[in-house]
Protein backbone atom coordinates (compact mmCIF):
# COMPACT_ATOMS: atom_id res chain seq x y z
CA UNK A 1 0.00 0.00 0.00
CA UNK A 2 1.39 3.43 -0.77
CA UNK A 3 1.19 5.93 2.07
CA UNK A 4 3.98 8.36 1.42
CA UNK A 5 4.46 11.33 -0.87
CA UNK A 6 7.78 13.13 -0.77
CA UNK A 7 7.16 16.45 1.04
CA UNK A 8 8.60 18.53 -1.80
CA UNK A 9 6.80 21.76 -0.85
CA UNK A 10 8.33 21.82 2.63
CA UNK A 11 11.72 20.69 1.30
CA UNK A 12 11.67 23.56 -1.25
CA UNK A 13 10.62 26.09 1.38
CA UNK A 14 13.51 25.10 3.65
CA UNK A 15 16.16 24.66 0.97
CA UNK A 16 15.58 27.63 -1.31
CA UNK A 17 13.79 30.15 0.89
CA UNK A 18 14.97 29.54 4.44
CA UNK A 19 18.55 28.42 3.81
CA UNK A 20 19.23 29.86 0.37
CA UNK A 21 20.84 26.61 -0.77
CA UNK A 22 21.39 28.36 -4.11
CA UNK A 23 24.43 29.97 -2.46
CA UNK A 24 26.29 26.66 -2.95
CA UNK A 25 26.23 27.11 -6.73
CA UNK A 26 28.37 30.24 -6.26
CA UNK A 27 31.23 28.05 -5.04
CA UNK A 28 33.35 26.83 -8.00
CA UNK A 29 33.21 23.19 -6.93
CA UNK A 30 29.38 23.23 -6.86
CA UNK A 31 28.90 25.41 -9.94
CA UNK A 32 26.46 22.82 -11.37
CA UNK A 33 24.39 22.63 -8.18
CA UNK A 34 21.80 25.20 -9.25
CA UNK A 35 18.26 25.29 -7.89
CA UNK A 36 17.11 23.56 -11.10
CA UNK A 37 19.62 20.79 -10.58
CA UNK A 38 18.52 20.37 -6.94
CA UNK A 39 14.88 20.20 -8.02
CA UNK A 40 15.59 17.66 -10.77
CA UNK A 41 17.57 15.37 -8.44
CA UNK A 42 14.94 15.61 -5.69
CA UNK A 43 12.15 14.80 -8.16
CA UNK A 44 14.03 11.69 -9.29
CA UNK A 45 14.75 10.70 -5.67
CA UNK A 46 11.04 11.11 -4.88
CA UNK A 47 10.18 8.69 -7.71
CA UNK A 48 12.77 6.20 -6.45
CA UNK A 49 11.41 6.43 -2.89
CA UNK A 50 7.71 6.32 -3.77
CA UNK A 51 7.80 3.83 -6.64
CA UNK A 52 10.77 1.54 -5.97
CA UNK A 53 11.55 1.52 -2.24
CA UNK A 54 8.10 2.00 -0.69
CA UNK A 55 6.49 -1.07 -2.36
CA UNK A 56 9.06 -3.49 -0.85
CA UNK A 57 9.14 -2.01 2.65
CA UNK A 58 6.39 -4.03 4.38
CA UNK A 59 7.15 -7.21 2.41
CA UNK A 60 10.84 -6.86 3.30
CA UNK A 61 9.88 -6.58 6.97
CA UNK A 62 7.70 -9.68 6.82
CA UNK A 63 10.15 -11.79 4.80
CA UNK A 64 13.42 -10.62 6.37
CA UNK A 65 16.88 -11.80 5.34
CA UNK A 66 17.84 -15.47 5.34
CA UNK A 67 21.15 -17.10 6.19
CA UNK A 68 22.50 -20.26 4.61
CA UNK A 69 24.86 -21.81 7.18
CA UNK A 70 26.42 -24.17 4.59
CA UNK A 71 27.35 -21.51 2.07
CA UNK A 72 27.62 -18.76 4.73
CA UNK A 73 25.58 -16.51 2.46
CA UNK A 74 22.72 -14.10 3.10
CA UNK A 75 19.71 -13.62 0.84
CA UNK A 76 17.88 -10.31 0.99
CA UNK A 77 14.06 -10.22 0.73
CA UNK A 78 12.26 -10.39 -2.62
CA UNK A 79 12.64 -7.28 -4.71
CA UNK A 80 15.76 -5.97 -2.95
CA UNK A 81 18.19 -7.08 -5.68
CA UNK A 82 16.12 -5.34 -8.36
CA UNK A 83 15.66 -2.22 -6.23
CA UNK A 84 19.39 -2.05 -5.53
CA UNK A 85 20.13 -2.38 -9.24
CA UNK A 86 17.79 0.55 -9.92
CA UNK A 87 19.49 2.56 -7.17
CA UNK A 88 22.96 1.67 -8.40
CA UNK A 89 22.24 2.29 -12.09
CA UNK A 90 20.56 5.57 -11.20
CA UNK A 91 23.97 6.77 -9.94
CA UNK A 92 22.79 7.38 -6.37
CA UNK A 93 25.73 5.64 -4.68
CA UNK A 94 28.37 8.31 -5.28
CA UNK A 95 26.05 11.34 -5.28
CA UNK A 96 28.13 13.56 -3.01
CA UNK A 97 31.52 11.83 -3.38
CA UNK A 98 34.41 13.70 -5.01
CA UNK A 99 34.44 13.29 -8.82
CA UNK A 100 38.12 12.27 -8.88
CA UNK A 101 37.17 8.60 -8.37
CA UNK A 102 33.78 8.49 -10.02
CA UNK A 103 31.62 10.40 -7.56
CA UNK A 104 29.16 13.01 -8.79
CA UNK A 105 30.55 15.76 -6.56
CA UNK A 106 27.16 17.18 -5.58
CA UNK A 107 26.61 18.87 -2.19
CA UNK A 108 26.17 16.82 0.99
CA UNK A 109 23.03 18.86 1.59
CA UNK A 110 21.45 17.29 -1.48
CA UNK A 111 22.53 13.84 -0.28
CA UNK A 112 20.81 14.52 3.05
CA UNK A 113 17.55 15.30 1.25
CA UNK A 114 17.83 12.11 -0.83
CA UNK A 115 18.61 10.11 2.33
CA UNK A 116 15.50 11.51 3.99
CA UNK A 117 13.26 10.32 1.16
CA UNK A 118 14.86 6.85 1.13
CA UNK A 119 14.62 6.49 4.93
CA UNK A 120 10.97 7.57 4.86
CA UNK A 121 10.11 4.71 2.55
CA UNK A 122 12.54 1.88 3.35
CA UNK A 123 14.99 2.22 6.20
CA UNK A 124 16.32 -1.34 5.82
CA UNK A 125 17.18 -0.77 2.17
CA UNK A 126 18.87 2.56 2.94
CA UNK A 127 21.32 0.84 5.29
CA UNK A 128 23.15 -0.97 2.45
CA UNK A 129 24.22 2.11 0.44
CA UNK A 130 24.36 4.17 3.65
CA UNK A 131 27.30 2.20 5.03
CA UNK A 132 29.00 2.32 1.61
CA UNK A 133 28.84 6.09 1.71
CA UNK A 134 30.65 6.10 5.06
CA UNK A 135 33.31 3.79 3.61
CA UNK A 136 33.76 6.16 0.65
CA UNK A 137 34.23 9.12 3.00
CA UNK A 138 36.72 7.23 5.09
CA UNK A 139 38.85 5.91 2.23
CA UNK A 140 38.73 9.29 0.46
CA UNK A 141 40.23 10.94 3.53
CA UNK A 142 42.53 8.28 4.97
CA UNK A 143 43.24 5.73 2.23
CA UNK A 144 46.57 5.79 0.37
CA UNK A 145 46.70 6.50 -3.38
CA UNK A 146 46.53 2.81 -4.27
CA UNK A 147 43.57 2.11 -1.98
CA UNK A 148 41.68 5.11 -3.33
CA UNK A 149 42.28 4.10 -6.94
CA UNK A 150 41.27 0.48 -6.29
CA UNK A 151 38.24 0.79 -4.01
CA UNK A 152 36.63 4.18 -4.61
CA UNK A 153 35.49 3.82 -8.25
CA UNK A 154 33.65 0.55 -7.45
CA UNK A 155 32.12 1.91 -4.24
CA UNK A 156 31.04 5.11 -5.99
CA UNK A 157 29.53 3.07 -8.78
CA UNK A 158 27.72 0.98 -6.18
CA UNK A 159 28.83 -2.36 -7.62
CA UNK A 160 30.69 -2.89 -4.33
CA UNK A 161 29.29 -1.98 -0.90
CA UNK A 162 31.02 -1.13 2.38
CA UNK A 163 30.71 -2.07 6.04
CA UNK A 164 31.92 -0.72 9.34
CA UNK A 165 33.28 -3.46 11.63
CA UNK A 166 33.78 -2.10 15.14
CA UNK A 167 31.54 -3.96 17.58
CA UNK A 168 32.59 -7.22 19.26
CA UNK A 169 30.72 -9.31 21.81
CA UNK A 170 32.57 -7.70 24.74
CA UNK A 171 32.65 -4.13 23.41
CA UNK A 172 30.26 -1.66 21.84
CA UNK A 173 30.66 1.80 23.34
CA UNK A 174 34.10 1.06 24.81
CA UNK A 175 36.11 0.17 21.72
CA UNK A 176 39.31 0.12 23.76
CA UNK A 177 38.26 -3.44 24.68
CA UNK A 178 38.45 -4.91 21.18
CA UNK A 179 40.50 -8.10 20.74
CA UNK A 180 40.49 -8.65 16.94
CA UNK A 181 44.14 -9.08 15.94
CA UNK A 182 46.14 -7.93 12.91
CA UNK A 183 49.38 -9.85 12.30
CA UNK A 184 51.85 -8.29 9.81
CA UNK A 185 52.62 -10.51 6.80
CA UNK A 186 55.75 -10.56 4.64
CA UNK A 187 53.88 -9.08 1.63
CA UNK A 188 52.91 -5.94 3.53
CA UNK A 189 49.36 -7.12 4.26
CA UNK A 190 47.96 -8.20 7.65
CA UNK A 191 46.16 -11.37 8.75
CA UNK A 192 42.97 -10.27 10.53
CA UNK A 193 41.54 -12.67 13.11
CA UNK A 194 38.55 -12.11 15.38
CA UNK A 195 34.77 -11.91 15.62
CA UNK A 196 32.69 -8.81 14.99
CA UNK A 197 28.97 -8.71 15.79
CA UNK A 198 25.96 -6.73 14.56
CA UNK A 199 27.69 -5.75 11.31
CA UNK A 200 25.22 -4.06 8.98
CA UNK A 201 25.47 -5.44 5.45
CA UNK A 202 28.32 -7.78 6.48
CA UNK A 203 27.03 -10.31 3.94
CA UNK A 204 24.29 -10.00 1.30
CA UNK A 205 23.47 -10.60 -2.36
CA UNK A 206 23.19 -7.02 -3.64
CA UNK A 207 26.75 -6.27 -4.77
CA UNK A 208 29.70 -8.04 -6.41
CA UNK A 209 32.05 -7.42 -3.50
CA UNK A 210 31.88 -6.17 0.10
CA UNK A 211 34.59 -3.91 1.48
CA UNK A 212 34.93 -4.29 5.24
CA UNK A 213 36.58 -1.53 7.26
CA UNK A 214 37.76 -3.31 10.36
CA UNK A 215 39.19 -2.11 13.66
CA UNK A 216 41.89 -4.44 15.00
CA UNK A 217 44.99 -4.41 17.19
CA UNK A 218 48.56 -4.76 15.99
CA UNK A 219 50.94 -6.89 18.08
CA UNK A 220 52.44 -4.89 20.97
CA UNK A 221 50.06 -1.96 20.39
CA UNK A 222 49.26 0.23 23.41
CA UNK A 223 46.34 -0.89 25.56
CA UNK A 224 42.90 0.71 25.16
CA UNK A 225 41.65 3.02 22.45
CA UNK A 226 45.15 4.36 21.68
CA UNK A 227 46.18 0.96 20.29
CA UNK A 228 43.52 0.47 17.61
CA UNK A 229 44.31 0.38 13.89
CA UNK A 230 42.06 0.36 10.84
CA UNK A 231 42.19 -2.18 8.00
CA UNK A 232 40.44 -2.60 4.69
CA UNK A 233 39.40 -6.22 4.16
CA UNK A 234 37.61 -7.10 0.89
CA UNK A 235 35.31 -10.13 0.67
CA UNK A 236 36.86 -11.02 -2.69
CA UNK A 237 40.47 -10.21 -3.52
CA UNK A 238 41.79 -8.74 -6.75
CA UNK A 239 42.38 -12.23 -8.25
CA UNK A 240 38.82 -13.27 -7.35
CA UNK A 241 39.87 -15.49 -4.41
CA UNK A 242 37.49 -15.55 -1.46
CA UNK A 243 39.00 -13.84 1.59
CA UNK A 244 38.20 -15.77 4.80
CA UNK A 245 35.86 -13.11 6.22
CA UNK A 246 32.64 -15.10 6.62
CA UNK A 247 29.19 -14.40 7.96
CA UNK A 248 28.54 -16.62 11.00
CA UNK A 249 24.82 -15.84 11.33
CA UNK A 250 22.15 -13.18 11.33
CA UNK A 251 20.80 -11.26 14.29
CA UNK A 252 17.07 -11.73 15.03
CA UNK A 253 15.87 -8.29 15.92
CA UNK A 254 12.97 -5.95 16.66
CA UNK A 255 13.03 -4.00 13.39
CA UNK A 256 14.92 -3.24 10.14
CA UNK A 257 14.49 -6.95 9.42
CA UNK A 258 15.42 -6.55 5.76
CA UNK A 259 18.80 -5.12 6.73
CA UNK A 260 21.31 -7.95 7.22
CA UNK A 261 22.84 -7.55 10.69
CA UNK A 262 25.66 -10.10 10.70
CA UNK A 263 28.13 -11.87 12.93
CA UNK A 264 31.40 -11.66 10.97
CA UNK A 265 34.23 -14.12 11.56
CA UNK A 266 37.62 -12.99 10.29
CA UNK A 267 39.71 -16.14 10.02
CA UNK A 268 43.15 -14.81 9.15
CA UNK A 269 41.58 -12.66 6.41
CA UNK A 270 43.92 -10.54 4.32
CA UNK A 271 43.69 -6.86 5.20
CA UNK A 272 45.63 -3.69 4.51
CA UNK A 273 46.34 -0.88 6.94
CA UNK A 274 44.40 2.36 6.36
CA UNK A 275 46.09 5.47 7.78
CA UNK A 276 48.78 5.27 10.43
CA UNK A 277 49.20 2.39 12.92
CA UNK A 278 47.23 2.94 16.16
CA UNK A 279 45.26 5.82 14.63
CA UNK A 280 42.30 3.66 13.60
CA UNK A 281 39.74 5.18 15.90
CA UNK A 282 40.57 8.67 14.68
CA UNK A 283 40.10 7.54 11.06
CA UNK A 284 36.88 5.73 11.93
CA UNK A 285 35.46 8.94 13.36
CA UNK A 286 35.38 10.30 9.79
CA UNK A 287 32.99 7.53 8.86
CA UNK A 288 31.03 7.84 12.08
CA UNK A 289 30.48 11.60 11.75
CA UNK A 290 28.98 11.19 8.28
CA UNK A 291 27.00 8.20 9.49
CA UNK A 292 25.68 10.06 12.54
CA UNK A 293 24.03 12.74 10.42
CA UNK A 294 22.56 9.99 8.24
CA UNK A 295 21.16 8.22 11.31
CA UNK A 296 19.58 11.48 12.48
CA UNK A 297 17.95 11.73 9.07
CA UNK A 298 16.53 8.23 9.57
CA UNK A 299 14.61 9.58 12.59
CA UNK A 300 13.29 12.47 10.52
CA UNK A 301 12.39 10.31 7.51
CA UNK A 302 10.40 7.84 9.56
CA UNK A 303 8.64 10.64 11.46
CA UNK A 304 7.57 12.26 8.16
CA UNK A 305 5.92 9.03 7.00
CA UNK A 306 4.29 8.58 10.40
CA UNK A 307 2.93 12.12 10.20
CA UNK A 308 1.52 11.68 6.70
CA UNK A 309 -0.19 8.41 7.59
CA UNK A 310 -1.74 9.58 10.86
CA UNK A 311 -2.82 12.94 9.39
CA UNK A 312 -4.66 11.28 6.50
CA UNK A 313 -6.19 8.79 8.91
CA UNK A 314 -7.39 11.60 11.22
CA UNK A 315 -9.15 13.31 8.31
CA UNK A 316 -10.97 10.08 7.32
CA UNK A 317 -11.79 8.28 10.54
CA UNK A 318 -15.22 9.25 11.88
CA UNK A 319 -15.68 9.00 15.66
CA UNK A 320 -17.78 11.12 18.04
CA UNK A 321 -18.85 14.71 17.58
CA UNK A 322 -16.75 17.82 17.90
CA UNK A 323 -17.00 19.40 21.38
CA UNK A 324 -18.02 22.67 19.74
CA UNK A 325 -20.88 21.11 17.75
CA UNK A 326 -21.10 18.78 14.74
CA UNK A 327 -18.70 19.67 11.95
CA UNK A 328 -20.09 17.17 9.45
CA UNK A 329 -23.76 16.96 10.41
CA UNK A 330 -24.65 14.79 7.43
CA UNK A 331 -22.16 12.10 8.48
CA UNK A 332 -22.72 9.76 11.42
CA UNK A 333 -19.80 11.32 13.29
CA UNK A 334 -17.06 13.90 12.77
CA UNK A 335 -13.52 13.05 11.60
CA UNK A 336 -11.22 12.64 14.60
CA UNK A 337 -9.09 15.63 13.50
CA UNK A 338 -11.73 17.84 15.20
CA UNK A 339 -10.80 16.55 18.67
CA UNK A 340 -8.32 18.69 20.60
CA UNK A 341 -6.48 15.67 21.98
CA UNK A 342 -5.91 14.23 18.49
CA UNK A 343 -4.75 17.66 17.32
CA UNK A 344 -2.19 17.75 20.10
CA UNK A 345 -0.64 14.57 18.73
CA UNK A 346 -0.73 15.73 15.11
CA UNK A 347 0.77 19.08 16.05
CA UNK A 348 3.56 17.40 17.99
CA UNK A 349 4.38 15.54 14.76
CA UNK A 350 4.15 18.61 12.52
CA UNK A 351 6.21 20.81 14.79
CA UNK A 352 8.88 18.14 15.17
CA UNK A 353 9.09 17.12 11.54
CA UNK A 354 9.21 20.53 9.90
CA UNK A 355 11.42 22.12 12.57
CA UNK A 356 13.86 19.22 12.57
CA UNK A 357 14.05 19.21 8.79
CA UNK A 358 15.13 22.85 8.93
CA UNK A 359 17.70 22.11 11.66
CA UNK A 360 19.11 19.07 9.85
CA UNK A 361 19.34 20.75 6.45
CA UNK A 362 20.96 23.81 8.05
CA UNK A 363 23.56 21.48 9.59
CA UNK A 364 24.06 19.80 6.19
CA UNK A 365 24.69 23.20 4.63
CA UNK A 366 27.40 23.82 7.25
CA UNK A 367 28.99 20.48 6.28
CA UNK A 368 29.33 21.64 2.66
CA UNK A 369 30.57 25.09 3.65
CA UNK A 370 33.12 23.58 6.03
CA UNK A 371 34.80 21.93 3.02
CA UNK A 372 34.10 24.38 0.23
CA UNK A 373 33.46 27.93 1.53
CA UNK A 374 35.53 30.66 -0.12
CA UNK A 375 37.77 31.61 2.80
CA UNK A 376 39.54 29.63 5.56
CA UNK A 377 37.62 31.67 8.17
CA UNK A 378 34.25 30.76 6.65
CA UNK A 379 35.30 27.12 6.45
CA UNK A 380 36.32 27.08 10.09
CA UNK A 381 33.12 28.77 11.21
CA UNK A 382 30.99 26.25 9.31
CA UNK A 383 33.07 23.35 10.62
CA UNK A 384 32.56 24.56 14.21
CA UNK A 385 28.78 24.54 13.66
CA UNK A 386 28.79 21.18 11.88
CA UNK A 387 30.91 19.50 14.58
CA UNK A 388 28.79 20.89 17.38
CA UNK A 389 25.48 20.01 15.78
CA UNK A 390 26.35 16.45 14.65
CA UNK A 391 25.52 14.76 18.01
CA UNK A 392 22.50 17.06 18.42
CA UNK A 393 21.05 16.07 15.03
CA UNK A 394 21.77 12.36 15.57
CA UNK A 395 20.30 12.26 19.03
CA UNK A 396 17.37 14.67 18.90
CA UNK A 397 16.03 13.55 15.53
CA UNK A 398 16.11 9.86 16.43
CA UNK A 399 14.64 10.33 19.93
CA UNK A 400 11.92 12.74 18.91
CA UNK A 401 11.35 11.06 15.55
CA UNK A 402 10.50 7.93 17.51
CA UNK A 403 8.20 9.75 19.94
CA UNK A 404 6.60 11.61 17.07
CA UNK A 405 5.77 8.31 15.33
CA UNK A 406 4.49 6.98 18.65
CA UNK A 407 2.12 9.97 18.89
CA UNK A 408 0.98 9.17 15.35
CA UNK A 409 0.29 5.56 16.27
CA UNK A 410 -1.66 6.65 19.36
CA UNK A 411 -3.75 9.07 17.32
CA UNK A 412 -4.87 6.14 15.12
CA UNK A 413 -6.13 4.03 18.01
CA UNK A 414 -6.14 0.24 17.44
CA UNK A 415 -5.52 0.67 13.70
CA UNK A 416 -2.08 2.08 14.46
CA UNK A 417 -1.14 -1.08 16.34
CA UNK A 418 -2.05 -3.42 13.48
CA UNK A 419 0.01 -4.45 10.49
CA UNK A 420 -2.68 -2.99 8.22
CA UNK A 421 -0.95 0.35 8.76
CA UNK A 422 2.76 1.16 8.60
CA UNK A 423 3.11 2.82 12.01
CA UNK A 424 3.94 -0.33 13.95
CA UNK A 425 6.78 -1.13 11.52
CA UNK A 426 7.98 2.48 11.58
CA UNK A 427 8.28 2.33 15.35
CA UNK A 428 10.07 -1.02 15.32
CA UNK A 429 12.42 0.13 12.55
CA UNK A 430 13.04 3.55 14.08
CA UNK A 431 13.95 2.27 17.54
CA UNK A 432 17.47 1.19 16.53
CA UNK A 433 18.42 4.67 15.34
CA UNK A 434 18.55 5.78 18.98
CA UNK A 435 21.12 3.06 19.68
CA UNK A 436 23.56 2.51 16.83
CA UNK A 437 26.34 4.85 15.67
CA UNK A 438 26.87 5.49 19.39
CA UNK A 439 23.81 5.51 21.64
CA UNK A 440 22.07 8.81 22.15
CA UNK A 441 23.51 8.95 25.66
CA UNK A 442 26.98 8.71 24.13
CA UNK A 443 26.11 11.48 21.64
CA UNK A 444 25.33 13.70 24.63
CA UNK A 445 28.68 12.78 26.19
CA UNK A 446 30.37 13.61 22.87
CA UNK A 447 28.71 17.03 22.93
CA UNK A 448 29.67 17.79 26.52
CA UNK A 449 33.05 16.07 26.72
CA UNK A 450 34.47 16.73 23.24
CA UNK A 451 32.58 19.32 21.25
CA UNK A 452 32.15 21.90 24.02
CA UNK A 453 35.77 21.64 25.08
CA UNK A 454 37.30 21.71 21.56
CA UNK A 455 39.37 24.81 20.72
CA UNK A 456 38.86 26.23 24.22
CA UNK A 457 35.08 26.42 23.82
CA UNK A 458 35.13 28.08 20.39
CA UNK A 459 32.40 25.86 18.92
CA UNK A 460 29.82 27.12 21.40
CA UNK A 461 30.94 30.74 20.88
CA UNK A 462 30.51 30.34 17.10
CA UNK A 463 27.09 28.77 17.70
CA UNK A 464 25.79 31.64 19.85
CA UNK A 465 27.18 34.20 17.43
CA UNK A 466 25.44 32.50 14.49
CA UNK A 467 22.18 32.10 16.38
CA UNK A 468 22.10 35.75 17.42
CA UNK A 469 22.61 36.76 13.75
CA UNK A 470 19.73 34.54 12.71
CA UNK A 471 17.52 35.92 15.49
CA UNK A 472 18.33 39.53 14.63
CA UNK A 473 16.35 39.27 11.38
CA UNK A 474 13.18 37.92 13.03
CA UNK A 475 10.36 40.44 12.65
CA UNK A 476 7.87 39.08 15.21
CA UNK A 477 8.90 40.65 18.56
CA UNK A 478 7.47 37.83 20.64
CA UNK A 479 9.25 35.17 18.60
CA UNK A 480 12.44 37.17 18.83
CA UNK A 481 12.28 37.49 22.61
CA UNK A 482 11.33 33.82 22.95
CA UNK A 483 14.42 32.80 20.96
CA UNK A 484 16.60 35.12 23.03
CA UNK A 485 15.19 33.68 26.26
CA UNK A 486 15.79 30.08 25.15
CA UNK A 487 19.35 30.89 24.06
CA UNK A 488 19.98 32.71 27.36
CA UNK A 489 18.78 29.66 29.30
CA UNK A 490 21.11 27.48 27.27
CA UNK A 491 23.96 29.85 28.09
CA UNK A 492 23.05 29.66 31.78
CA UNK A 493 23.20 25.85 31.57
CA UNK A 494 26.66 26.05 29.97
CA UNK A 495 27.78 28.42 32.73
CA UNK A 496 26.60 25.87 35.31
CA UNK A 497 28.49 23.15 33.47
CA UNK A 498 31.72 25.15 33.46
CA UNK A 499 31.39 25.90 37.15
CA UNK A 500 30.66 22.36 38.31
CA UNK A 501 31.95 19.84 35.79
CA UNK A 502 35.64 20.77 35.70
CA UNK A 503 36.14 19.57 39.25
CA UNK A 504 33.57 16.74 39.03
CA UNK A 505 33.15 14.95 35.65
CA UNK A 506 30.12 13.06 36.99
CA UNK A 507 28.25 16.36 36.94
CA UNK A 508 28.86 16.53 33.18
CA UNK A 509 27.68 12.93 32.75
CA UNK A 510 24.53 13.64 34.74
CA UNK A 511 23.45 16.66 32.70
CA UNK A 512 24.67 15.72 29.20
CA UNK A 513 21.35 14.51 27.78
CA UNK A 514 19.20 17.46 28.95
CA UNK A 515 21.93 19.84 27.78
CA UNK A 516 21.90 18.32 24.28
CA UNK A 517 18.14 18.77 24.26
CA UNK A 518 18.51 22.43 25.22
CA UNK A 519 20.77 22.93 22.18
CA UNK A 520 18.13 21.30 19.99
CA UNK A 521 15.29 23.38 21.46
CA UNK A 522 17.18 26.65 21.04
CA UNK A 523 18.12 25.82 17.43
CA UNK A 524 14.58 24.76 16.59
CA UNK A 525 13.26 28.02 18.09
CA UNK A 526 15.49 30.02 15.75
CA UNK A 527 14.44 27.85 12.79
CA UNK A 528 10.71 28.19 13.57
CA UNK A 529 10.94 31.94 14.13
CA UNK A 530 12.64 32.35 10.76
CA UNK A 531 10.17 30.05 9.01
CA UNK A 532 7.25 32.05 10.45
CA UNK A 533 8.87 35.29 9.31
CA UNK A 534 9.31 33.94 5.79
CA UNK A 535 5.76 32.64 5.65
CA UNK A 536 4.41 36.13 6.38
CA UNK A 537 6.43 37.86 3.64
CA UNK A 538 4.47 38.91 0.58
CA UNK A 539 7.23 37.88 -1.86
CA UNK A 540 6.76 34.23 -0.96
CA UNK A 541 2.96 34.08 -1.32
CA UNK A 542 3.07 33.31 -5.04
CA UNK A 543 5.30 30.27 -4.64
CA UNK A 544 3.44 28.33 -1.92
CA UNK A 545 -0.16 27.53 -1.16
CA UNK A 546 -1.95 29.73 1.35
CA UNK A 547 -2.65 26.80 3.68
CA UNK A 548 1.00 25.80 3.66
CA UNK A 549 2.09 29.29 4.73
CA UNK A 550 -0.59 29.92 7.36
CA UNK A 551 0.06 26.38 8.66
CA UNK A 552 3.69 27.38 9.19
CA UNK A 553 2.80 30.54 11.12
CA UNK A 554 0.35 28.74 13.38
CA UNK A 555 2.68 25.78 13.96
CA UNK A 556 5.41 28.23 15.02
CA UNK A 557 3.08 29.51 17.76
CA UNK A 558 2.54 25.95 18.93
CA UNK A 559 6.29 25.26 18.89
CA UNK A 560 6.91 28.08 21.37
CA UNK A 561 3.97 27.02 23.52
CA UNK A 562 5.43 23.49 23.81
CA UNK A 563 9.14 24.18 23.94
CA UNK A 564 9.54 27.42 25.94
CA UNK A 565 8.41 25.73 29.18
CA UNK A 566 10.45 22.63 28.32
CA UNK A 567 13.63 24.70 28.00
CA UNK A 568 13.07 26.11 31.48
CA UNK A 569 12.37 22.62 32.89
CA UNK A 570 15.58 21.31 31.31
CA UNK A 571 17.55 24.14 32.88
CA UNK A 572 16.06 23.26 36.28
CA UNK A 573 16.99 19.63 35.72
CA UNK A 574 20.57 20.62 34.87
CA UNK A 575 21.10 22.96 37.79
CA UNK A 576 19.85 20.24 40.17
CA UNK A 577 23.11 18.46 39.22
CA UNK A 578 24.00 14.86 39.91
CA UNK A 579 22.86 14.54 43.54
CA UNK A 580 19.60 12.62 43.25
CA UNK A 581 20.96 10.67 40.25
CA UNK A 582 24.03 9.39 42.09
CA UNK A 583 22.47 9.11 45.56
CA UNK A 584 21.31 5.49 45.32
CA UNK A 585 23.76 2.63 45.81
CA UNK A 586 23.42 -0.10 43.15
CA UNK A 587 21.54 -2.33 45.63
CA UNK A 588 19.06 0.47 46.39
CA UNK A 589 17.62 0.42 42.87
Ligand X SMILES: Cc1cc2nc3c(=O)[nH]c(=O)nc-3n(C[C@H](O)[C@H](O)[C@H](O)COP(=O)(O)OP(=O)(O)OC[C@H]3O[C@@H](n4cnc5c(N)ncnc54)[C@H](O)[C@@H]3O)c2cc1C
The residue among 261 and 356 lying less far from ligand X, judged by its C-beta, is: 261
142-150, 326-334, 404-412, 440-448 -> range binding ligand X (CB under 6 A) = 440-448
- List 88, 132, 200, 513, residue binding ligand X (CB under 6 A): 200
The residue among 21 and 192 lying less far from ligand X, judged by its C-beta, is: 192
Least Cβ distance, residue 581 to ligand X (angstroms): 12
Binding to ligand X, residues 349-408 (CB under 6 A): none
The residue among 33 and 263 lying less far from ligand X, judged by its C-beta, is: 263
# chain residues binding ligand X, by CB under 6 A = 19
Per-residue mark of binding to ligand X, 240-279 (x: CB under 6 A): -------------x-------x------------------
CA–CA distance from 105 to each of 34, 94, 156, 296, 356 (Å)? 13, 8, 11, 22, 26
- Residue 339 has phi, psi (to 5 degrees) of -85, 130
Least Cβ distance, residue 549 to ligand X (angstroms): 40
For residue 37, with 0-12 CB atoms within 10 Å meaning exposed, 13-18 middle and 19 or more buried, which class applies? middle
Q: Which of 437, 557, 566, 588 is catalytic?
A: 437
- Residues paired with residue 217 on neighbouring β-strands, in sequence order: 181
Q: Which of 104, 106, 114 is nearest to 157 (CA)?
A: 104
Least Cβ distance, residue 66 to ligand X (angstroms): 17
Who contacts 425 (Cβ-Cβ below 8 Å, separation ≥6)?
57, 58, 61, 255, 419
In whole angstroms, what separates CA 333 from the centre of its chain? 41
26-34, 136-144, 441-449, 536-544 -> range binding ligand X (CB under 6 A) = 441-449
CA–CA separation, 458 and 266 (whole Å): 42
Least Cβ distance, residue 228 to ligand X (angstroms): 12
- List 150, 307, 362, 436, residue binding ligand X (CB under 6 A): 436
Active site residue 437: yes
Who contacts 200 (Cβ-Cβ below 8 Å, separation ≥6)?
127, 131, 163, 164, 259, 260, 261, 262, 436
- List 206, 232, 442, 493, residue binding ligand X (CB under 6 A): 442
Least Cβ distance, residue 249 to ligand X (angstroms): 14
The residue among 173 and 419 lying less far from ligand X, judged by its C-beta, is: 173
Q: At what angle do helices 108-121 and 123-142 cross, to 10 degrees?
A: 150
Least Cβ distance, residue 103 to ligand X (angstroms): 22
Per-residue mark of binding to ligand X, 139-178 (x: CB under 6 A): -------------------------xxxx----xx-----
| Kind and range of the H or E run holding 238 | none
Q: Which of 282, 293, 476 is nearest to 367 (CA)?
A: 293
- For the chain, how far is it from start to end, CA to CA, in angstroms? 46
Q: Does residue 128 touch ligand X according to CB under 6 A?
A: no
Write out the residues near ligand X by the rule CB under 6 A: 164-167, 172-173, 198-200, 253, 261, 432, 435-436, 438-439, 441-442, 445
- So which residues are the catalytic ones? 437
Amino acid sequence: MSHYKAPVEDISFILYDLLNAQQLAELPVYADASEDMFRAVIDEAAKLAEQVLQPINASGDQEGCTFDPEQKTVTTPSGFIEAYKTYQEGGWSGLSSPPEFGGQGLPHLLKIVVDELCCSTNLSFGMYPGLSHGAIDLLSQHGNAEQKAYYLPKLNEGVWTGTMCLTEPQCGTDLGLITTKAEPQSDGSYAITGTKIWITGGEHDLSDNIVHLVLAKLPDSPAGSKGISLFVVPKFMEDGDRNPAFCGGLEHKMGIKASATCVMNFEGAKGWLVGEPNQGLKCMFTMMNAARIMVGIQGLGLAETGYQVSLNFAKDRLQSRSLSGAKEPNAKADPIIVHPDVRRMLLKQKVFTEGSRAMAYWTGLQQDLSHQASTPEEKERADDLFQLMTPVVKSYLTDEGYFSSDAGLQSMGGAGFTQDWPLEQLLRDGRIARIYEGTNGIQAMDLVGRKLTMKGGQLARTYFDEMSKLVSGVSNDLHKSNCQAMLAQLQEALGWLMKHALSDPEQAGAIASPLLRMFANATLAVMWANMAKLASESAIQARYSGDFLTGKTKAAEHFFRLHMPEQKALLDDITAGKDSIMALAANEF
